[in-house]
């Protein structure tokens, strides 16, 4: 299962999105779609950070609870969280109760607001690292990299801007998830044809 595989419905997908129903829905409807918007991207930055050391399926299952706990990932609201909010989050069994990751999410919300004040804003900053033109989808899983020069540069700049839990691997996962790169395997029905890869 190194290349795209057919699911129960006969549709060819990336192997990770061909079995579990929740992963399949995420693969088919979200992963790799172009995503813009401050809070939408802040949510993805936050969830990718929480995923560190865990499976993405764990995060998907907890995403409704994460959204409720973090005010829909409204950066202005989260930036104002205090110790009472931290205590509330640490007691919330619906999310990943990791103090460092919770603190990082609150700090990252404040960093998002600073980006808006100082420019260029989270959306523009993240997308400035998207390669042009986007590379062709990999043929097999062997061609999917954990980091790239672009994700390394993104992580470095985010850390310089005060973000936490944003290493090169997390940054690349973010780029994959939000359509900055297309890493659906070439045989997957969601892979973007080469003629349209430049369109964002």
Report in angstroms the alpha-carbon separations of 190 from 50, 72, 96, 184, 198.
26, 27, 30, 6, 15
Among 173, 184, 183, 180, residue whose Cα is nearest residue 47: 173
Indicate the pLDDT class of residue 193, thresholds 50, 70 and 90: low
Q: What percentage of the chain exceeds 90 in pLDDT?
A: 84
In this structure, how many other beta carbons lie within 10 angstroms of the beta carbon of residue 53? 8
The predicted model gives 133-160 an average pLDDT of 92
Where in the sequence numbering do the catalytic residues fall? 26, 48, 56
Q: What is the Cα–Cα distance from 189 to 27, expressed in whole angstroms? A: 10
CB atoms near residue 67 (< 10 Å): 14
pLDDT at 13 over 80: yes
- Is domain 11-128+142-192 annotated with CATH 3.40.640.10? no
Judged by DSSP in three states, 58 sits in helix
Instruction: Output the pTM of the full model.
Output: 0.93
């Amino acid at each position: 299962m190194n290349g795209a595989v057919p699911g129960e419905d006969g549709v060819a997908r990336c192997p990770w999105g061909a079995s579990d129903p929740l992963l399949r829905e995420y693969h088919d409807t979200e992963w790799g779609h172009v995503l813009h918007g401050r809070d939408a991207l802040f949510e993805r930055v936050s969830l990718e950070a929480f995923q560190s050391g865990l499976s993405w399926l764990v995060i998907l299952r907890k995403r409704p609870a994460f959204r409720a706990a973090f005010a829909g990932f409204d950066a202005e609201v989260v930036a104002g969280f205090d110790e009472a909010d931290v205590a509330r989050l640490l007691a919330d069994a619906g999310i990943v109760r990791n103090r460092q990751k919770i603190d990082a999410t609150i700090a990252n919300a404040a960093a998002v607001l600073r980006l808006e004040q100082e420019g260029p804003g989270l959306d523009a900053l993240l997308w400035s690292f998207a390669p042009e033109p986007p590379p062709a989808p990999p043929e097999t899983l062997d061609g999917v990299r954990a980091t790239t020069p672009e994700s390394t540069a993104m992580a470095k700049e985010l850390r310089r801007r005060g973000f936490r839990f944003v290493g090169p691997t997390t940054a690349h996962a973010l780029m994959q998830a939000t359509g900055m790169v297309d890493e659906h395997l070439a045989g997957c029905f969601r892979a973007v044809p080469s003629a349209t890869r430049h369109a964002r």
